[in-house]
């Protein structure tokens, strides 16, 4: 096995671990979305941090669809944090929609060709 093949193999392993970790983070993200009505901006800040990490790693490992979905959540959180007051019900609903899109993107990446 060439060193190039070894590197590709290691990157594939890291990418698989990223997908597994991200799939596991969907429960955490759902819980944070559920906390937005009660906590508001503190929950949005945690959502921003989590989705920023998912977004960046997704881009690094070539999961553009995951990165784009995470970016949409991150940007919504950032925009809402900057507002003096948020429409909690509307934000929570939009976060639910975007989280479902992210979860679907992760599922598709885990099941290529399915």
pLDDT of res. 54: 94
Closest CA to 36 of 26, 44, 27: 44
Mean pLDDT, consecutive 10-residue segments, the chain of 114 residues?
82 88 90 90 94 94 90 92 86 87 89 70
Q: What is the pLDDT of residue 37?
A: 87
Count up the domains in the chain and report the number. Answer: 1
Q: What's the DSSP call for residue 112?
A: T
Question: What domain range is 22 assigned to?
Answer: 3-110
pLDDT of residue 53: 95
Q: What is the pTM of this model?
A: 0.85
In terms of Cα–Cα distance, which of 92, 99, 100, 101 is closest to 43?
Answer: 92
* Nearest to 105, CA basis, from 51, 65, 58, 61: 65
CATH number, domain at 55? 1.20.120
């Amino acid at each position: 096995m060439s060193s190039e093949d070894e590197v590709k193999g290691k990157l594939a392993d890291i990418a698989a671990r990223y997908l597994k970790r991200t799939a596991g983070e969907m429960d955490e993200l759902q819980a944070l979305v559920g906390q937005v009505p009660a906590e508001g901006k503190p929950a949005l800040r945690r959502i921003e941090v989590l989705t920023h990490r998912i977004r960046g790693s997704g881009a690094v490992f070539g999961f553009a669809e995951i990165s784009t979905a995470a970016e949409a959540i991150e940007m919504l959180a950032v925009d809402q944090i900057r507002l003096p007051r948020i429409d909690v019900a509307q934000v929570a609903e939009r976060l639910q929609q975007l989280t479902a899109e992210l979860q679907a993107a992760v599922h598709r990446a885990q099941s290529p060709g399915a």
